[in-house]
């Protein structure tokens, strides 16, 4: 019996260490991968900075640079085109088919809340009138936060041109940020909405 208890104890300790290492990988190992991918995406944006406005961006390519002042001066992420698992591992992803930055309609961006750099970990802290800055190739777009809500994963109306109102045509540029809710769960989605406040064209 004593030998059995000793074996059980040793296995429990080993299992605990394995779980600890796995959690460490999820929090720090995945972040290291995202940092490498972000460096590549931001390099793309820098190289294409002088390019004229692009109407369509290929999957996996950089769309724009996202800044959220409330989340700190160092907060900046390159947004990748696509929201599949492979894309969201690289950083926030633009939902294909929704508006591009500055366009009339809904510029929808999804991002991880806990792993792979957790770019949207703190978007629940955003308040009405906070700024969301999107630096695209042709201009710098500043959106103003209007509201946030928690929805079910099946509520796809949040990506409509007018969020929540799929039967209405958009008349102004909007932005929607989406992430999992609550933290460490995918049971629901946390959504932050905003409208375009200012456009600053890049100098040629």
- 112 as an active site residue: the answer is yes
Is 76 one of the annotated active-site residues of the chain? no
Helix spans in the chain (H)? 2-24, 30-47, 85-88
Q: Which residue in 151, 174, 177 sits closest to 75, CA to CA?
A: 177
Choosing from 94, 113, 140, 189, the catalytic residue is 189
Say which of 87, 112, 113, 137 is annotated catalytic.
Answer: 112
Q: Compute the distance between CA of residue 150 and CA of residue 10 in angstroms, rounded to an integer.
A: 43
Token digits for 47?
């190289």
Tokens linked to 80: 């990748």
Burial of 172 (0-12, 13-18, 19+ CB in 10 A): exposed
Which residues have a Cβ under 8 Å from the Cβ of 184 and sit 6 or more positions away? 114
Closest CA to 199 of 147, 145, 135: 135
Active site residue 180: yes
Asked if residues 186 and 148 have their Cβ atoms less than 8 Å apart, the reply is no
- State the catalytic residues: 112, 180, 189
């Amino acid at each position: 019996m004593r030998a059995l208890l000793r074996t059980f104890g040793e296995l429990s300790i080993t299992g605990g260490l394995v779980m600890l290492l796995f959690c460490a990988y999820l929090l720090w190992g995945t972040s290291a991968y995202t940092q490498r991918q972000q460096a590549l995406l931001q390099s793309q944006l820098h190289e294409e900075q002088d390019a004229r406005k692009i109407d369509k961006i290929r999957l996996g390519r950089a769309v724009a640079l996202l800044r959220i002042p409330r989340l700190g001066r160092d907060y900046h992420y390159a947004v990748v085109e696509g929201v599949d698992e492979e894309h969201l591992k690289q950083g926030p992803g633009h939902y294909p088919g929704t508006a591009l930055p500055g366009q009339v309609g809904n510029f929808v961006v999804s991002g991880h809340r806990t792993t792979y750099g957790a770019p949207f970990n703190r978007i629940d802290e955003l308040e009405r009138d906070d700024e969301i800055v999107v630096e695209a190739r042709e201009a710098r777009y500043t959106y103003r936060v209007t509201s946030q809500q928690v929805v079910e994963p099946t509520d796809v109306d949040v990506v409509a041109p007018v969020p929540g109102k799929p039967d209405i045509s958009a008349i102004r540029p909007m932005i929607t940020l989406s992430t999992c809710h609550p933290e460490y769960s995918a049971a629901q989605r946390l959504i932050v909405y905003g409208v375009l406040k200012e456009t600053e064209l890049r100098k040629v």
